[in-house]
Amino acid sequence: MGSGKKEQEKNSQKYFYKMELKTKVGLLQLKIHKNKDLNIKKAVNKIRYAAKKGAKIVCTSELFLFEYFCKTENHSNFKYAEKIPGAITNLFCKLTKELNIILIISLFEKKIAGQYYNTCIIINDKGKIISKYRKMHIPDDPGYYEKFYFTPGDLGFKNTKTRYGEIGTLICWDQWFPEAARLTALKGSEIIFFPTAIGWHPKEKKKYGKTQLDSWITIQKSHAIANGIFVVAVNRVGYEKKGNRKIEFWGHSLVIDPNGKIIAKLKSKEEGVLVCDIDFKKVDSARQHWPFLRDRRIDAYKSLIRNSKND
């Protein structure tokens, strides 16, 4: 039969696809130092470690190359921005090819003079950049002056097919917007990664710290539940100070399954690499048992593209 080889290929693809319904993710929860080269070196080491532990998709925290410079508004910080592709991405592309993993890294991107983005990219196991996402929702809060630095994302919401799953990427503040998770899920993602940089103002921690952290965990669980999707948040740890601005980054990197259960997490002060098994069959199962995507009223959601009271 002439089609024997084709059929064999088809079958092996099927088997291949089946095999990849399970994967392992790796989360890098690190303290970030003033020295960029040290941050790179540390990240590379930890990525190697995660790969050794079997992680196939590894993700850094937000803007992991620098102390969180948005604590103040300072024009000299623009010099930290990178071109994509550029020297930094070349380095990590080489690494993923060597380790045979997918890597999600978060960078301060210079697009052109005067347009800077809070960007994350996905590099595949062949060392190729296969996705770029620019943070869509930009915060501006005392100590988080991101609207000064970043143009709001202009690439929309993203899903990226990889051999280890369909991956969505969102960044930090996006976490608080159900729209972002929903749109990413609707594009086909079965797991969303959130590189993150969030912490306590030391002055507020005693009074509001617990509520703030609880809210942060709750909102991410809710995306998992509402969309029947895995949610991964990767935060930094450590105490950073610039002038009067101090932030204690609260760690708590975590993996949530499509039923809203935390299946792996780190603590608030712990540097570490978290490697966690992902079984994508749970996405199908969650969405069959909680069929919310079936029942959306797309005929009645028009006003979601308005601000308020406009209809």
Write out the binding residues for a copy of itself, residues 25-64 only, by CB under 8 A: none
Hunting for tokens 């060597």 — which residue is that? 98
- The region of 21-29, 85-93, 112-120, 173-181 touching a copy of itself under the rule CB under 8 A is 173-181
State the binding string over 242-271 for a copy of itself (x if CB under 8 A, else -): -----------------xxx----------
C-alpha dist (Å) from residue 27 to 37, 138, 166: 20, 23, 17
Rounded Cα distance between 155 and 23, Å, is 27
What are phi and psi for residue 168, nearest 5 degrees?
-100, 150
- The three-point CA angle 57-293-260 to 5° equals 50
115 or 211, CB closer to a copy of itself? Answer: 211
Interface residue with a copy of itself among 53, 215, 241, 281 (CB under 8 A) is: 215
- Please give the structure tokens belonging to residue 23: 């994967």
172 catalytically annotated? yes
- The region of 30-38, 58-66, 267-275, 298-306 touching a copy of itself under the rule CB under 8 A is 298-306
Are 213 and 221 spatial neighbours (Cβ–Cβ below 8 Å)?
no
82 catalytically annotated? no
Interface residue with a copy of itself among 137, 158, 252, 265 (CB under 8 A) is: 137
- Please give the structure tokens belonging to residue 265: 């997490």
Interface residue with a copy of itself among 75, 206, 207, 306 (CB under 8 A) is: 306
Rounded Cα distance between 184 and 264, Å, is 22
Q: Binding of a copy of itself at residue 21 (CB under 8 A)?
A: no
Are 82 and 88 spatial neighbours (Cβ–Cβ below 8 Å)?
yes
Are 102 and 123 spatial neighbours (Cβ–Cβ below 8 Å)?
yes
Hunting for tokens 């990240």 — which residue is that? 43
From the candidates 70, 93, 120, 172, give the one annotated as an active-site residue. 172
135 catalytically annotated? yes
Q: Binding of a copy of itself at residue 148 (CB under 8 A)?
A: no
Least Å from the CB of residue 301 to a copy of itself: 5
Q: Binding of a copy of itself at residue 12 (CB under 8 A)?
A: no
Question: Rg for the chain (alpha carbons), in Å?
Answer: 20
Interface residue with a copy of itself among 72, 74, 162, 222 (CB under 8 A) is: 222
Number of residues that bind a copy of itself (CB under 8 A): 50
Residues 6+ apart with CB under 8 A from 60: 28, 30, 43, 104, 105, 106, 195, 234
End-to-end CA gap in the chain? 64
Interface residue with a copy of itself among 176, 263, 269, 270 (CB under 8 A) is: 176
From the candidates 24, 62, 70, 71, give the one annotated as an active-site residue. 62
Hunting for tokens 């696809």 — which residue is that? 17
Interface residue with a copy of itself among 1, 87, 113, 304 (CB under 8 A) is: 304
Q: Binding of a copy of itself at residue 182 (CB under 8 A)?
A: yes
Are 9 and 254 spatial neighbours (Cβ–Cβ below 8 Å)?
no
Q: Which residues bind a copy of itself (CB under 8 A)?
A: 136-139, 141, 152-153, 156-157, 173, 176-179, 182-183, 186-188, 211, 214-215, 218-219, 221-222, 225-226, 259-261, 290-293, 295-309
Catalytic residue list:
62, 135, 172
